[in-house]
Each structure stands twice: as structure tokens, then as C-alpha cells.
Amino acid sequence: MHDAREVVVLRYGHRPGRDDRMTTHVGLTARALGADRVIFPDNAGQSAETVRDITDRFGGPFAVELRDDQKAIVRNFEGVVVHLTMYGERVQDVEGDVRESIQGGDGLLIVVGGEKVPWALYERADFNVGVTNQPHSEVAGLAVFLDRLFEGTELDREWEDADRRVMPEATGKTVIDADEERSDGD
């Protein structure tokens, strides 16, 4: 779909109960819009289960990991680190530099926060990127950033090993069972 190496999304911080839906939506958005993997804090097990379940049903490849060492993940990542923050440089000004920096490299880690993130993250990040410099949400910021990164090519992605597929249509809600689709093709 694109030339870049692995694109990983890190959800930095999670408050069980309060952040459950947001963390789940970070994972679903990462999957739907072309990332290869999401890393959740290890107290976000319910969100991980939901994203895995969607991947099982609607296809992949897409990996979900639970880790307790978020600081170390960022510190030790060998590729390029992008931190999405309303205080960052404008996405439209740096998207080309980010694409260039990951060509042939060790991949890209995109970090999104929930509550306050440590200052060390701003310092470690190769790019602090704002999707507008207005406060909004990690889900919206991630969606726009991924679409800019992939220049829209992620919208044409094919999904592997899906049990079901949604038929795009002007009106109606048709979901095709992959087994039926395969037997129709025989």
C-alpha cells in the first residue's frame, strides 16, 4: 500500500473506565487507516480485546499489544517518533519531512496522549505535530495524521482473512459473509 516501514501507534496513558472508549477508538482508527500495530498500556485489556475482535471479523493484518513500559518504548524506539500534540508544528508543514524520514528506515512510532504526557516525550520526539493548533481529540488527530502520511492511499486498502465484508452502497446495510462469497466464486 505504501513504501514506509512499519507504522506503530502508541496510546500513551489510559484511565480505566474514563478512557475505555477513546482508547478503543484509537486502536480501531489506527487499524482502519493503515497503521500496522497499536500498543496500549497494560491496564487497557478490554480495549485490546475489542480491537482484536474487530480484526478477527473484518480482517487485517493488524496487531494489538499490551505493554507496561511506555516511557521505555518511546525512549528505545529505533525509528522515527511522531508525537501528536496541539502545540506541535503544523501537519501540513511537516508531513513531507516525516514521509522522507521513514523511507528505508526502522519504522514510525506515532504517540497519542490522553491526559498529560511527560515533557520528555516532547524532547524525544523527532516531530511534535499539531493537526491544527486547537485542542480536540487523539482519535481525530490520529485519523487526519494517518491520512496525510499515506496521502489517502490507505482508503483503498484490501483486508486479509476477513470473515465479513461491508458492501458499500448509497442506501442500506449489507454485510457479506466471506465464506458465502468464496463459495459463490467457485
Q: How far apart are CA 98 and CA 80, in angstroms?
A: 8
Asked if 43 interacts with ligand SAM (CB under 6 A), we say no
Among residues 32, 63, 66, 86, the one that binds ligand SAM under rule CB under 6 A: 86
Among residues 109, 112, 143, 149, the one that binds ligand SAM under rule CB under 6 A: 112
- Cα separations in angstroms, 16 against 134, 136, 141: 26, 20, 21
- Residue 130 Cβ, how far from ligand SAM at the closest point, in Å? 4
Length of the chain: 186
**Toward ligand SAM, which CB reaches closer, 75 or 136?**
136
Site string for ligand SAM, 137-176 (x = CB under 6 A): xx--x-----------------------------------
- Cα separations in angstroms, 144 against 13, 42, 51, 105: 21, 26, 20, 23
For strands 174-177 and 164-167, give the pairing.
antiparallel
Asked if 92 interacts with ligand SAM (CB under 6 A), we say no
**Toward ligand SAM, which CB reaches closer, 134 or 171?**
134
Per-residue cell: 82: 511522531
- Nearest Cα to 40, choosing from 20, 18, 54? 20
- Residue 175 Cβ, how far from ligand SAM at the closest point, in Å? 32
In the DSSP assignment, the letter for residue 56 is H
Q: Count residues binding ligand SAM (CB under 6 A).
A: 17
- Binding-site residue ranges: 84, 113-117
Residues marked as binding for S-adenosyl-L-methionine?
84, 113-117
Residues that bind ligand SAM (CB under 6 A): 84-87, 112-114, 117, 130-132, 134-138, 141
